[in-house]
Amino acid sequence: MATVVQRMRKFLNDPEQVVKESLVGLAAAHGDLLRYDAENQVVIRKDAPRQGKVALISGGGSGHEPLHGGFVGAGMLDAACPGEVFTSPVPGQMLAATKAVDGGAGVIHIVKNYTGDVMNFKLAAEDAAEEGIQVESVLIDDDVAVQDSLYTAGRRGVGATVLAEKVAGAAAERGDALAAVAALARRVNDRSRSFGVALSSCTPPAAGKPIFDLPEGEMEVGIGIHGEPGRRRSALGSAHEVAATMVEAVVSDLRPAAGARVLVFVNGMGGTPLLELYLLYGEIDRQLREASLEPVRNLVGSYITSLEMAGASLTLLELDDELTELWDAPVRTPALRW
Amino acid sequence: MDEATIRTWMTETASSIRAERDHLVQLDAAIGDGDHGINMTRGFEAVVLAFSTEDGGSPGQLMTLAGKTLISAVGGASGPLWGSALRRAGRTLGDKPTFEAEQLVVAMEAALAAVQDLGQAKPGDKTMVDALAPAVGALREGVAAGQPLQSAVQAARSAAEEGMRATVPMQARKGRASYLGERSIGHQDPGATSAVLILKALERTLAAGG
């Protein structure tokens, strides 16, 4: 075991325990905001359940930190269900989280569109309904790299997940009803598009080796967030060229109105420093303005990651007044606070 | 067939999946995210553990327990899919202490239906259905033709293997491999591969007189 750990250049005790041990650390660091229910493997907002407030939970495989546990707190998620690395959590976790946060106003499940997440959340929602809890599921599928949903599992949920959790969390906090909060989360998804590129693979701790090999000077284009290869491989161009690829992919699919105000989310995949992310943001900001769009809000940093993968994704959200107001509303979580 | 058949089948499954863990991981890394072998190993080890604390039980109850255990221990797509499959198969077997070939056919048909209901995959989508569907067909035909159960199961396993190999040139239309588009062509589907392992385990169980 020691040699495996050494070869991986990761801080580990036991690769099989990485998720649990990390959640213990998350709770130790942010005990003022959340608690960790180790038995059910869920992260719960400290003051949950809040009577009369719509509760929001999400979940998915681990390895995307700070998503989702880092977004538990006031103004965002009430609970998060972390699965094993890159593996959907199980229905029991989601049911436990749903019961722990239900304040009588219903619970929203924010589900990223991956086969496993969708199936496990579906089984959990059935179980919750049997226990008399009102659940509404919102599916996030913003990744334009997956094109034809007739021949695929459909678009993946990526960057828009963070934006939907923030906006819906703010709506729940101000007292919106279940249907209204769900509608806002769906509106964020409908008005968002994302596209990502990878400059390296990543190594899931339990597998012990990188998912794919990527020679220097090449990039995977159209990746998701599970270290999987993209739609195609191409030569790594300048940041200007990479930004142009991302902007073109996202804008041509979103087709925002001319002069539209947009939120620009430049996300790191885990192994790309802020130095490069801001460089990329500068390119993207300029190119969007040239395309007569107006970036009025932004988020730059690593918020939905793929372990230590080098790479970045662009998510564009076409704002309106209400979405802007909810984005600006106070939030207090480990990873996002203002 | 009785309670011991199900116990041996699941134990055999756990050990062959554990033995093939790295191979399944390799297959999945090529077109997915490389966790299939890890998840399936964790799941069937949990089934063996659940059986060890469950005295007695009818074949149907044990099968249902195996399904529930997979749903609660695995996650991903394979947990709900195999879990629902075994759970629904178990329910068709009911509480009777033994079952015959005809009931095995009904149980396998129910398992396939559960997988397709939840996953919406059709033959040709490059999934476990490509191994499972022909296997269920071969089993049904063999039993209907009055073949001894062992040879019907052998035919089912062989049909599953053929279906598994046929996934290689397919382009995936379901699951994570579908994101790769044409790049999924040329790789064997890991889910179809583990379906074959489960059928092989059943074949060995019956050959051993279980």
Give pLDDT tens digits along chain B (210 positions). 999 999 999 999 999 999 999 999 999 988 887 889 999 999 999 999 999 998 888 999 999 999 999 999 998 899 999 999 999 999 999 999 999 999 999 999 999 999 999 999 999 999 999 999 999 999 999 999 999 999 999 999 999 999 999 999 999 999 888 888 888 999 999 999 999 999 999 999 999 875
In 3D, which of B123, B86, B122, B94 has the Cα closest to residue B202?
A: B86
Nearest to A229 among B35, B174, B180 (CB): B180
Residues A157, A212 share a domain: no
Tokens representing residue B83 in the block? 């879990």
Are A217 and A141 in a shared domain?
Answer: no
Query: Is A84 within 8 Å of B34 when comparing Cβ atoms?
Result: no
Enumerate the β-bridge partners of residue A57: A79, A109
Q: Do A52 and A196 share a structural domain?
A: no
What is the structure's pLDDT at A150? 63
| Long-range contacts from A251-258, C-beta under 8 angstroms, 24+ separation | A251/A288, A251/A291, A251/A293, A251/A316, A253/A144, A253/A193, A254/A191, A254/A192, A254/A193, A254/A316, A254/A318, A256/A293, A256/A316, A256/A318, A257/A318, A258/A292
Active site residue A64: yes
> Taking an 8 Å Cβ-Cβ cutoff, which residues of chain A contact chain B?
61, 83-92, 114-116, 119-120, 122-123, 145-147, 151-153, 156, 204, 206-207, 211-212, 224, 226-229, 231-232
**Whether residue A143 sits in one domain with residue A175:** yes
Identify whether residues A150 and A298 lie together within a single domain: no
Q: Distance, in angstroms, between B17 CA and closest chain A CA?
A: 15
A30 flagged as catalytic: no
Q: At what angle do helices A274-290 and A239-254 cross, to 10 degrees?
A: 50
Q: Is A7 within a domain?
A: no
Binary contact (B72, A115; C-beta < 8 A): no
Say if the Cβ atoms of B25 and A224 lie within 8 Å.
no
Structural domain includes residue A10: no
Domain stops at, among A190, A217, A233: A190
Regarding whether A213 and A75 lie in a shared domain, the answer is: no
Chosen domain end from A190, A213, A232: A190
Is residue A337 in some structural domain?
no
Cβ distance B80 to A123 less than 8 Å, yes or no, reads: yes
CATH topology of domain B3-207: 1.25.40
Q: What are phi and psi for residue A287, nearest 5 degrees?
A: -65, -35
Looking at residue A256, what DSSP letter applies? P
Residues A42 and A163 in one domain: yes
- Chain B positions touching A232 (Cβ under 8 A) are 183
Number of domains making up chain A: 2
What's the domain range around A28?
Answer: 16-190
A326 lies in some domain: no
Judge if A46 and A184 occupy the same domain: yes
- Indicate the residue among A145, A173, A190 that finishes a domain: A190
Nearest CA in chain A to B43: A90
The pTM for the full model equals 0.88
Question: Which residue ranges in chain A fall short of pLDDT 50?
Answer: 1-5
Catalytic pick from A30, A68, A109, A226?
A: A226
B-interface mutation test, from A20, A93, A119, most B Cβ less than 10 A away? A119
Q: Return the residue in A90, A142, A306 with the most chain B beta carbons within 10 A, the one to mutate for interface testing.
A: A90
Tell me B171's DSSP state: P
Q: Looking at chain A, how many residues does it have?
A: 338
Please give the pLDDT value at position A20. Answer: 97
